[in-house]
Amino acid sequence: MNIHKIVITGGPSAGKTTGLSWIQSHLSKLGYTVLFVPETATELITGGVAPWTCSTNLDYQKCQMRLQLEKEKVFEQAAASMKADKILIVCDRGAMDNRAYMTDEEFSQILEGLGTTEIKLRDTYDAVFHLVTAAKGAEEFYSLDNPARTEGIAEAVALDDKLIAAWTGHSHLRVIDNDRDFEKKMIRLISEIRTFLGEPVPYEIERKYLIHYPDIAWLESIPNCRKVEICQTYLTSAPDDEIRVRQRGEGGSFIYTKTTKKRVSDVKRIEIEERLTQDEYLSLLMEADPNKRPIRKTRYCLTYENQYFEIDIYRFWKDQAVMEIELNDENAEIVFPPEIQIIKEVTGDVAYSNASLASI
């Protein structure tokens, strides 16, 4: 059984409701049993439970978070009992969406009450797809067709930015903007989901750049950037394969994954990723390739102009770093942050691959 849990999120009037309908139609044709976890905020607010009816916003957020997570558990339990080969759990907003409606102090209290961390809460989802509000670039189509939403244009833009910032740091965040007509926006959403699921082939399209050592103070000061610590270990494998296990997180809170890659071209690879438990991760470390050292790096995940960049800082470099971006289209135009100074593109240059950097 293959179960994936993804989030569809976005600013007000982004096309999320239509997107869910497209997902049902297109993914069902690919043989997926598609389960939808309804948006919790809409359920509560239309039922009379809202930030303005509860004593405080924190009281409301506690209720929303508890219901959100319990609903997801129920759907996961139901999915595990189903007689289906491929199941896709689609969350109409995820737990981190609530972060956009709280202060830092309120969010810290929520995490403490749940006995969890931001990383564990965010990375419980396999992928996140953010639909940009129509208030950014498609203002003529902006509307408030959801009774739980009351934002004007300026508020919608600000909220959209907060939602992207809340999810920044996730290993598979994709931002779907309004640079094309609405139907093409939906087509891109389905294309991004299919690419993530590996339908028909799990291609990873990636471009890589060698950059001057970035301004760390700047990165850590902006809301649309998140830092994670990564330790990845390469396992013994066949000559055409690359198998690695990765510990990813911050402050003692980690998730663990195993990734298998096959090279197709300089920019395209087949990539299969699976989540591991800590025990499974530690067991696989026994299969570490003795010719490669573990790679430790600090990764800054940065959203800019609806693109998702990953900047890797290695301990053995003091004047340069590597920046990557995953694409849905090999020919997509990339808009770089002006604060980042590109030295050269190193896509396909094996000397800058993590596997090469790990070689002893």
Q: What pLDDT, in 10s, does the model give residues 325-335? A: 988 777 888 99
Lowest-confidence range among 109-123, 146-160, 309-323? 146-160
| Amino acid, res. 112 | E
Q: Which residue has the higher pLDDT, 259 or 204?
A: 259
In sequence order, the 6+-apart residues with CB closer than 8 A to the CB of 207 are 267, 324, 325, 327, 334, 345, 347
Q: Which of 175, 183, 223, 193 is nearest to 9 (CA)?
A: 175
Q: What is the pLDDT of residues 42-61, one digit of tens each?
A: 999 999 999 999 999 999 99
Tokens 């639909």 locate to 131
pLDDT of residue 338: 94
Segment 234-249 mean pLDDT: 88
SS3 track for 104-136: HHHHHHHHHHHCCCHHHHHCCCCEEEEECCCCC
Torsion of CA 342, 345, 347, 349, to 10 degrees: -110
In contact, 268 and 330? CB cutoff 8 Å = yes
The mean pLDDT of the chain is 90
pLDDT of residue 262: 79
Segment 12-36 mean pLDDT: 91
pLDDT of residue 113: 95
What values do phi and psi take at 111, rounded to 5?
-60, -40
**295-304 and 268-276 as β-strands: parallel, antiparallel, unpaired?**
unpaired
Segment 330-341 mean pLDDT: 90
Whether the predicted pLDDT of 235 surpasses 90 = yes
What are the sequence ranges of the domains in the chain?
A: 2-197, 203-357
- Give the whole-angstrom CA distance, residue 205 versus residue 211: 20
Segment 265-287 mean pLDDT: 85
Segment 189-195 mean pLDDT: 91
Structure tokens given for 224: 């649309």
In contact, 22 and 186? CB cutoff 8 Å = yes
Q: What is the pLDDT of residues 283-299, one digit of tens each?
A: 999 999 999 999 999 99
- Give the whole-angstrom CA distance, residue 109 versus residue 155: 25
pLDDT of residue 320: 96
pLDDT of residue 128: 97
pLDDT of residue 253: 87
Whether the predicted pLDDT of 149 surpasses 60 = no
DSSP secondary structure string for all residues of 11-27: STTSSHHHHHHHHHHHH
Task: Write out the CATH class of domain 2-197.
Answer: alpha beta
pLDDT of residue 211: 97
Strands across the sheet with 86-92, in order?
A: 33-37, 86-92, 2-10, 127-131, 173-176
* CATH architecture assignment, domain 203-357: Beta Barrel (2.40)
Q: What angle do CA 101, 50, 160 make, to 5 degrees?
A: 30
